[in-house]
Amino acid sequence: MVTASFTPQPETLRPGIKAPVRETLLTPRFYTTDFEAIAEMVLTLQEDEIEAALQELRNDYNRHHFVRNDDFKRSFDHIEGATRLAFIDFLERSCTSEFSGFLLFKELSRRLKDRSPKLAEAFALLARDEARHAGFINKAMADFGLSLDLSYLTKKRTYTFFPPEWVIYTVYLSEKIGYWRYILMFRHLEKNPDDNIYPLFNYFECWCQDENRHGDFFKALLRSQTKLWKTWQSRLWARFFLLTVFVTHTLTVFERTDFYEAVGLDARQYNIDVVKNTNETAARAFPSVLDTDNPHFFPRLEACSDANEKLTAIANSNTPQWLKFLQKMPWITVIIWQMLLIFLQKPVDAEARRGLVY
């Protein structure tokens, strides 16, 4: 489905409310799906695993976790300049992503309540967690004099239709890559406390376990549907969604090098660590994954990032729109070509090594 971007009208937003960034391929999207098809899913193949994942959600381990402590009461004016802008961008995209998940899960729960009670309960619990995450991040934005009007986003954001199969693939990956993003940053800051510039990071260890549990639920859902892992088409789709998630992650990380430098992380190495760990984790659910050890893999991802920087520079220039379009085409071609080369690399057969993956 083709989606359109929108630019919010400033007069519709209250003072202190940040105007949402213009929707692009890199901004978190809001989704809708075929609710009827999900209601008709047969779950017997993974019934025990789904029940176990559901019980983990019911336990609500983090129900008392997202409470702001005294560390938030100090001023954060020392975070300034490009670092401040990059940090606000990080918070905004994270909040929007969490809120997007909340809206999708809440609607799934509502639509499935009378058709598939177990799934309805699971999605209600997932929505609970995502709402907490979004609200906590939005309060963090207030420390920088801004916040997002989430009700405004609900009404004005473009919604993209994804078939249920795409939703399962993408949500599983977004939760698992979220886990690795959070835990790797937490471990780094735990070893290097002088790099911890903001108390939000102290919450990442428990927070990422929410992401992990969400991913485990979607793993069980994915494995309950044989068409998502037992067909040749599923092998292609698995690699495609891994590729799009990894390219998107690479582009956004390299766009925020100021942010990662501010917390003592090397953006390039952080991206490599997140991608490699997420790919290895995905081998537990997907029939096929990408070969991140291929010597061309990360150079090709980074070539996409270099091309994206050129696109950003063109977009921000004063060049006429028709000329911008012509200037962008070679760099768009570079990204598509590099992605195609990665996709055509020999993949890793995750099903063949199923008994070896831990």
Instruction: Tell me the C-alpha distance between 287 and 348, whole Å.
Output: 9
87 plus 181 within the same structural domain: yes
CATH number (domain holding residue 99): 1.20.1260
198 plus 241 within the same structural domain: no
256 plus 217 within the same structural domain: no
Predicted pLDDT at 291: 98
94 plus 218 within the same structural domain: yes
Per DSSP, the three-state class of 358 is: coil
Report residue 112 as tokens.
Answer: 């499935």
Which residue range is the domain that position 142 belongs to? 30-72+80-228
62 plus 144 within the same structural domain: yes
122 plus 267 within the same structural domain: no
> What are the start-end ranges of the H helices in the chain?
35-39, 47-59, 81-112, 117-142, 150-156, 164-191, 204-223, 232-255, 257-262, 267-282, 297-315, 321-344
Q: What's the total number of domains in the chain?
A: 2
Predicted pLDDT at 150: 83
127 plus 260 within the same structural domain: no
Predicted pLDDT at 19: 54
Per DSSP, the three-state class of 147 is: strand
Instruction: Tell me the C-alpha distance between 116 and 102, whole Å.
Output: 19
317 alpha-carbon distance from chain centroid: 29
224 plus 239 within the same structural domain: no
180 plus 269 within the same structural domain: no
199 plus 333 within the same structural domain: no
Predicted pLDDT at 200: 95
Predicted pLDDT at 147: 85
Give pLDDT tens digits for 260-301: 999 999 999 999 999 999 999 999 999 999 999 999 999 999
Residues in the chain predicted with pLDDT less than 70, given as ranges, are 1-27, 355-358
Predicted pLDDT at 8: 37
248 plus 273 within the same structural domain: yes
What is the C-alpha R_g of the chain? Answer: 20
297 plus 156 within the same structural domain: no
Instruction: Tell me the C-alpha distance between 284 and 238, whole Å.
Output: 12
Give pLDDT tens digits for 168-224: 999 999 999 999 999 999 999 999 999 999 999 999 999 999 999 999 999 999 999
Question: Is residue 304 in some structural domain?
Answer: yes
Whether the model clears a pTM of 0.85, i.e. scores above it, the answer is yes
Q: Is residue 343 within 8 Å of 244, Cβ to Cβ?
A: no
Question: Is residue 14 in some structural domain?
Answer: no
Per DSSP, the three-state class of 348 is: strand
Question: Is residue 22 in some structural domain?
Answer: no
Q: Please give the DSSP secondary-structure letter assigned to residue 18.
A: P
Listed residues 197, 228, 259: the one ending a domain: 228
Distances, alpha carbon 261 to alpha carbons 91, 204, 221, 258, in Å: 16, 18, 38, 5
Question: Is residue 6 in some structural domain?
Answer: no
Question: Is residue 171 in some structural domain?
Answer: yes
Question: Is residue 50 in some structural domain?
Answer: yes
Residue tagged 């055509």 (tokens): 344
Instruction: Tell me the C-alpha distance between 296 and 190, whole Å.
Output: 32
Taken in order 241, 151, 126, 179, the sign of the CA dihedral is positive
Question: Is residue 2 in some structural domain?
Answer: no
Listed residues 187, 210, 228: the one ending a domain: 228
Instruction: Tell me the C-alpha distance between 125 and 60, whole Å.
Output: 9
Q: Minimal CA–CA distance to 115: which of 41, 224, 221, 39?
A: 39
Question: Is residue 18 in some structural domain?
Answer: no
Listed residues 162, 193, 228: the one ending a domain: 228
